[in-house]
A and B are shown apart, each in its own frame.
Chain A
Amino acid sequence: MRKVSKTTLSFLLLGYAFLYLPLFFVILNSFNDTEVPGIWKGFSFQVFLSVLEDKDLLYAALNSFKIALISATGAVFLGLLAAISTATKSSFWGKSLLDRGTIIPIFIPDIIIGFSLLMLFVFMKSAFGFPKGRGCIIVSIGHILASVAYVCVTIRAKLLMFDKSIEDAAKALGAKSLTIFLQIKIPIIKESILTGWLLAFTLSLDDLVIASFLASPGNVTLPMRIFSYARFGIDPKINAFATMLMTIVFICLTLAYFISRRKK
């Protein structure tokens, strides 16, 4: 084995510390036996129990996950279509305008997306009587709008690197375009689809502004709940909740690792 020099090692450690030290403090604080953050008083599981009792927080978390799932899937679906149609080599008048049109939502501030969608839905309701209530689907639409551009960019980058001769070869061997799409293109861009999906999922999970505008009664998301707690000091419950989330993520990643290794 090659020996790693001390400088390399220290840079490595610094980098990882930068990434994970804040999370470490969140986990440490969630076992703290006090309501005051930042001051260590003793070890306890008390906060975890109070998280399980706080129905509002759990309900908001469930709602956020629901919205994140729906909007990530929707954003990948739309983003995939947009990427495929804009990554074609054929050119026509106005194509570059259309290409750029898919990226512009990245530059629109959330507050404008949120408010303009709210105005749109209110107008639609008064004009057509639809949508009647604004459930989690409506918030998801806002999140799809905000994240579809990121997904599109991710997938298109991969598609543009795609070797066109493979497609031509398949065509020459008599493959239909659907077969080419499903069996050649999708396997090649699978990573970027997954990346896009996770990106959209995360964007949706963190969003505060769009959800604040679009959420209807009883449809509060997790970030909205957390911010409304912040006035009286960051609640230690939030530490505990974050620890629980990280544990779940860690377990999922470990499982995924073992499953993929067994296959090989």
Chain B
Amino acid sequence: MASKLKPYIIWFFVISVAISFMFLINSRRESRENREIISVYTLFRVIPPEVIKNFEKETGIKVIYDTGDDNDILEAKLLAANNEYDIICPSFIPYAARQVLMGVYTNLELDLLPNIKNIEGIITDQFKKTGGNTNYLIPLFWGTTGIVFESSIIDRIFPNEKIDSYDILFNEEKVKKLKEYGVSFPQELIDIFPQIKAYLKIDSKLKDIKSVKLCFNALKQIRKYVTKFASDGVVNDLLSGEICVAIVSSDIAARAIMLGESINKKIKYILPKECPVLWIDCMAIPKGSKNKKNAHKFLNYLMTSTVAAKITNSLGILTNIPEATKHFDEKIKVNDNICPLDPELLKKLIIGAPAKTKTDLKFERKFNRAWARIKASLSSAQDEDEI
């Protein structure tokens, strides 16, 4: 009998040894990291490794850099456990805007951020106009939302036509022709609602039920031509030919264009004239941070114009440092839709307004519910009563 037992003893022995060995690795790492550290969390990998390496070399501060993919989880963690990260990077609308009102961020010490003067410019003006406060948030990353498409297909279907508006997506007659090549819409209502409102020429400040109904009826009509609702993965879908047109943000479009060149697929990005949307991602220090001084140092470092240019050049996400545009690679600057520099155009960009009052929030919730219905294709007469 005893001999039968042996293999299991060995099994458990091996497992327990493996685990204790791993604990050992863990404790060794912690003891090694006694020097100064800061932890940074961004959505997606926006900061290239070399920038972090250079910062570590210059200051001797170790950076733990984590990336996630969801604003909502970030917000839940921020509200539940405020002392997690020293620097986080949420999207401005609607997340960071409401998080400031909840009082989760540190009032930045501007003496420790001499480089903050570098962010002054049209984008920061736009940010302030929408209620952004640079005492809490640093609007460091930005981009636009527009239409990306494979130009060979679009040119064939709509010859002799200048593509510069949402007409190809929101006009039933036109989007019908695109269906067989694939049409992708964003997941989130907030990424499409301002555009359809502008396309239908409804005043963006108007918040009555009638205008919302108009928007949803329009969306319902084109729903059957939309083959996909996705925010990530657009790059893959576009390159593999699963879709030919999508509403996306400019950094994703930049990546698609770059990869498309390597396989001779011509991909274009345009800022539609009805509603060129501006989005901003902010850097902020949560109140619970334990290394505030070092966190300020890192923020200040990111706002150096050469560093900001390095970030843009490596990933195509735009940094809001007007000085840095001089150092941008030609291949980024050459496309004035991806990287708009014309001040007149920048002033025209539209940034969504954060919900402020309770009725605003109620509206938002209702829209979201109706949008979920449209996505699930369950639209019926019920929707009308819902809204």
A residues apposed to B, CB below 8 Å: 34-39, 41, 56, 66, 69-70, 73, 115, 118-119, 121-122, 135-136, 182-183, 186-187, 190, 212-213, 215-220, 224-225, 227-234
Chain B residues with Cβ below 8 Å from A66 are: 22, 26
* A122-B81, A232-B44 given; A218·B259 CB < 8 A: no
Q: Are B45 and A229 in contact (CB under 8 A)?
A: yes
A122-B2 Cα distance, complex, nearest whole Å: 47
Would you give the shortest CB distance from A64 to chain B, in whole angstroms? Answer: 12
Please report which residues of chain B, range 232-288, place their CB below 8 angstroms from some CB of chain A when the two chains form the complex.
Answer: 232-233, 235-236, 239-240, 251-252, 255-256, 259-260, 262-263
* A69-B18, A212-B68, A233-B259 given; A118·B239 CB < 8 A: no
Chain A residues with Cβ below 8 Å from B81 are: 118, 121-122
Tell whether B336 is near chain A: CB-to-CB under 8 Å.
Answer: no
Tell whether B218 is near chain A: CB-to-CB under 8 Å.
Answer: no
Q: Are A232 and B64 in contact (CB under 8 A)?
A: no
Q: Are A220 and B66 in contact (CB under 8 A)?
A: yes
Q: Are B43 and A186 in contact (CB under 8 A)?
A: no
The 4 A-B pairs with the shortest beta carbon distances in the complex, nearest first, are A217-B39, A233-B235, A228-B67, A218-B64
Tell whether B206 is near chain A: CB-to-CB under 8 Å.
Answer: no
Q: Are B43 and A228 in contact (CB under 8 A)?
A: yes
What residue in chain A is nearest B76 (Cβ atoms)? A115
Q: Which of A37, A73, A182, A218 contacts B5 (CB 8 A)?
A: A182
A216-B288 Cα distance, complex, nearest whole Å: 14
Most buried by A among B18, B44, B67, B256: B67
* Interface residue tally for chain B (C-beta within 8 Å): 46
Chain B residues with Cβ below 8 Å from A230 are: 69, 232-233
Would you give the shortest CB distance from A264 to chain B, in whole angstroms? Answer: 13
A189-B69 Cα distance, complex, nearest whole Å: 41
Binary A-proximity of B40-83 (CB < 8 A = 1, otherwise 0): 01011100010000000000000011111110010011001100
Would you give the shortest CB distance from A30 to chain B, in whole angstroms? Answer: 16
A107-B142 Cα distance, complex, nearest whole Å: 41
Q: Are B239 and A212 in contact (CB under 8 A)?
A: no
Chain A residues with Cβ below 8 Å from B263 are: 34, 36, 39, 41
Q: Which of B22, B67, B80 contacts A225 (CB 8 A)?
A: B67
By secondary structure, the A interface counts as helix
Tell whether B350 is near chain A: CB-to-CB under 8 Å.
Answer: no
Binary A-proximity of B72-109 (CB < 8 A = 1, otherwise 0): 01001100110011000000000000000000000000
* A70-B19, A136-B26 given; A36·B259 CB < 8 A: yes
Q: Are B64 and A212 in contact (CB under 8 A)?
A: no
Tell whether B222 is near chain A: CB-to-CB under 8 Å.
Answer: no
Number of A-B contacts (CB under 8 A): 111
Tell whether B361 is near chain A: CB-to-CB under 8 Å.
Answer: no
Chain B residues with Cβ below 8 Å from A183 are: 1-2, 4-5
Tell whether B387 is near chain A: CB-to-CB under 8 Å.
Answer: no
Would you give the shortest CB distance from A40 to chain B, in whole angstroms? Answer: 10
A135-B66 Cα distance, complex, nearest whole Å: 14
What residue in chain B is nearest A123 (Cβ atoms)? B80
Q: Which of B19, B66, B236, B262 contacts A69 (CB 8 A)?
A: B19
21 residue pairs bridging A and B, Cβ less than 8 Å apart? A34-B262, A38-B240, A69-B19, A73-B16, A115-B80, A118-B76, A122-B81, A135-B26, A183-B5, A212-B70, A212-B73, A213-B77, A217-B41, A217-B66, A218-B64, A220-B66, A228-B43, A228-B44, A229-B44, A231-B44, A232-B251
Would you give the shortest CB distance from A8 to chain B, in whole angstroms? Answer: 35
What residue in chain B is nearest A66 (Cβ atoms)? B22
Q: Are B19 and A228 in contact (CB under 8 A)?
A: no
Would you give the shortest CB distance from B191 to chain A, in whole angstroms? Answer: 14
Would you give the shortest CB distance from B311 to chain A, in whole angstroms? Answer: 14
Chain A residues with Cβ below 8 Å from B45 are: 228-229
Q: Are B69 and A186 in contact (CB under 8 A)?
A: no
Chain A residues with Cβ below 8 Å from B69 are: 224, 227-228, 230-231
Chain A residues with Cβ below 8 Å from B67 are: 220, 224-225, 228
A69-B25 Cα distance, complex, nearest whole Å: 14
A216-B262 Cα distance, complex, nearest whole Å: 38
What residue in chain B is nearest A118 (Cβ atoms)? B80
Chain A residues with Cβ below 8 Å from B26 are: 66, 135-136
Tell whether B113 is near chain A: CB-to-CB under 8 Å.
Answer: no
Tell whether B212 is near chain A: CB-to-CB under 8 Å.
Answer: no
A41-B77 Cα distance, complex, nearest whole Å: 43
Q: Are B4 and A187 in contact (CB under 8 A)?
A: yes
Tell whether B15 is near chain A: CB-to-CB under 8 Å.
Answer: yes
Chain A residues with Cβ below 8 Å from B68 are: 212, 224, 227-228
Most buried by B among A122, A135, A219: A122
With A118-B77, A228-B68 already in contact, 14 other A-B pairs whose C-beta atoms are closer than 8 Å: A34-B263, A37-B239, A38-B236, A38-B239, A39-B263, A186-B5, A212-B73, A217-B84, A217-B85, A218-B64, A220-B67, A227-B68, A228-B45, A230-B232
